[in-house]
């Protein structure tokens, strides 16, 4: 049965996720952990790609949304400790985290998306910092010492299921009639507006959708690491995700996914030279912008129609 591109990937991803979760207990714990890290990175990078890549709105606050979703879903799970079949509520807590992140995304997006380029970058950076400061000062979620003892619900199946779903939703959204607006806003905002695209609404939609998936990724992260600390969501985390999007080529889904996998695996192989990792990232950003502004993997794929 021929299926459109996005649906095929969704089914393939879900099948792989179910298969992987079936065999997961046989995997080495370390590899399992890394694989889940990769899945979370894919969700984060794909969702940021919608904002930074497809829509062209440079956001530096993705870790902030991740923190909102992570903390909220972890807080729910901690309230549910002791309830029978607590793990059945896990998807609900993920969803709640994502929804809260989306609401915060809406609150941040509506005022700040009137701004462009540099201003937007700084405001989103500032917003991420505000979230971190609030988390650091709120006793209910552990304040500066962090949130401990979160139940470990995140498995391979959930992670890659969510990753497949994220890719599917975002690809379909961008490829839809409505989604053409994202590309139009990215290419030329004034031209888009004069052609009847409601640019503010388009940008806010991208922002809220991106925030939603970042929140879910935060929930996965919280139930994977079982520990959350405000310092884990500082702007360097946002930079990590931004580097994935830039390396993959902004607006190129396949490239971004490849970059997310590569950049998550790389530090694991380069443990011996860990202190050089961020220097390498920085040089990567500079040289990519100077030499390959369309991303490292852009030579393989023609610019997709979406």
Partner 1 sequence: MDFIQQAINGLGLGAIYALIALGYTMVYGVLRFINFAHSDVLMLGAFAAFYIAPKIEKVCGPQSVLGVILVFILVALICALIGMTIERLAYRPLRHRPKLAVLITAIGVSLFIEFTCQNPNVLGSATRPFPQLAAEKQFHLGSAIVGSTDLLVIAVTAALLAAMWFIVQKTRIGTAMRAVSFNQQASLLMGVPVNKVISFTFGLGSALAAIAGILYSMKAPGIEPLMGVQPGLRAFIAAVLGGIGNLPGAVLGAVVLGLLETFAGGIPELSNYRDAIAFGILILILLLKPAGLLGRATIEKV
* Among positions 15, 266, 270, 279, the unique one binding partner 1 when judged by CB under 8 A: 279
Among 28-36, 96-104, 107-115, 298-306, the segment contacting partner 1 (CB under 8 A)? 107-115
User: Whole-number minimum distance, CB 238 to partner 1, in Å?
Assistant: 10
CA distance 225 to 239: 20
Quick check: 290 and 296 in contact, CB under 8 A? no
CA distance 130 to 12: 39
* Among positions 58, 71, 160, 221, the unique one binding partner 1 when judged by CB under 8 A: 58
Site for partner 1 in 108-127 (CB under 8 A): 111-112, 114-115, 117-119, 121-123, 125-127
CA distance 147 to 133: 15
User: Whole-number minimum distance, CB 287 to partner 1, in Å?
Assistant: 8
Quick check: 66 and 44 in contact, CB under 8 A? yes
Query: Per rule CB under 8 A, is residue 282 in the interface with partner 1?
Result: yes
Question: Which tokens sit at 207?
Answer: 């922002």
Question: Which tokens sit at 235?
Answer: 């702007």
Site for partner 1 in 241-270 (CB under 8 A): 242, 246
User: Whole-number minimum distance, CB 111 to partner 1, in Å?
Assistant: 5
Tell me the sheet residues that pair with 228: 147
* Among positions 6, 46, 129, 260, the unique one binding partner 1 when judged by CB under 8 A: 129
> Given the complex with partner 1, which of 219 and 255 has the nearer CB atom?
255
Among 55-63, 157-165, 168-176, 254-262, the segment contacting partner 1 (CB under 8 A)? 55-63
User: Whole-number minimum distance, CB 8 to partner 1, in Å?
Assistant: 32
Query: Per rule CB under 8 A, is residue 274 in the interface with partner 1?
Result: no
Quick check: 225 and 234 in contact, CB under 8 A? no
CA distance 91 to 93: 5
User: Whole-number minimum distance, CB 231 to partner 1, in Å?
Assistant: 13
- Kindly give, in sequence order, each residue whose CB lies less than 8 Å from that of residue 55, ignoring residues fewer than 6 positions away: 182, 185, 186, 202, 203, 206
Quick check: 260 and 244 in contact, CB under 8 A? yes
Tell me the sheet residues that pair with 147: 228
User: Whole-number minimum distance, CB 284 to partner 1, in Å?
Assistant: 8
CA distance 71 to 116: 29
Query: Per rule CB under 8 A, is residue 289 in the interface with partner 1?
Result: yes
* Among positions 15, 18, 270, 283, the unique one binding partner 1 when judged by CB under 8 A: 283
CA distance 202 to 212: 15
Residues engaged in binding partner 1 (CB under 8 A): 56, 58, 60, 111-112, 114-115, 117-119, 121-123, 125-127, 129-130, 133-134, 136-137, 190, 239, 242, 246, 275-276, 278-279, 281-286, 289-290, 293
């Amino acid at each position: 049965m021929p299926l459109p591109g996005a649906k095929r990937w969704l089914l393939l991803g879900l099948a792989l996720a179910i298969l992987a979760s079936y065999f997961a207990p046989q995997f080495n714990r370390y590899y399992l952990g890394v694989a889940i890290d990769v899945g979370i990175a894919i969700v984060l990078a794909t969702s940021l790609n919608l904002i930074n890549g497809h829509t062209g709105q440079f956001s530096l606050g993705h870790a902030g949304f991740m923190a909102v979703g992570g903390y909220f879903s972890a807080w729910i799970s901690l309230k549910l400790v002791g309830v029978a079949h607590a793990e059945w509520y896990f998807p609900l807590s993920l969803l709640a985290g994502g929804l809260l992140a989306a609401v915060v995304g809406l609150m941040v997006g509506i005022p700040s998306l009137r701004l462009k380029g540099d201003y937007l970058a700084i405001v989103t950076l500032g917003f991420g910092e505000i979230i971190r400061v609030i988390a650091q000062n709120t006793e209910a979620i552990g304040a500066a010492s962090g949130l401990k003892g979160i139940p470990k619900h995140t498995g391979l199946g959930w992670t890659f299921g969510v990753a497949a779903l994220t890719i599917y939703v975002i690809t379909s959204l961008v490829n839809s009639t409505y989604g053409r607006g994202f590309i139009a806003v990215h290419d030329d905002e004034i031209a888009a507006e004069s052609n009847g695209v409601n640019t503010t609404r388009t940008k806010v939609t991208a922002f809220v959708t991106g925030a939603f998936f970042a929140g879910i990724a935060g929930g996965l992260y919280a139930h994977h690491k079982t520990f959350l600390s405000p310092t884990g969501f500082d702007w360097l985390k946002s930079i990590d995700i931004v580097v994935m999007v830039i390396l993959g080529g902004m607006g190129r889904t396949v490239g971004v996914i490849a970059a997310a996998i590569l950049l998550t695996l790389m530090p694991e192989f380069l443990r011996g030279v860990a202190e050089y990792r961020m220097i390498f990232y920085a040089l990567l950003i500079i040289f990519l912008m100077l030499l390959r502004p369309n991303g490292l993997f852009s030579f393989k794929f023609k610019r997709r129609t979406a």
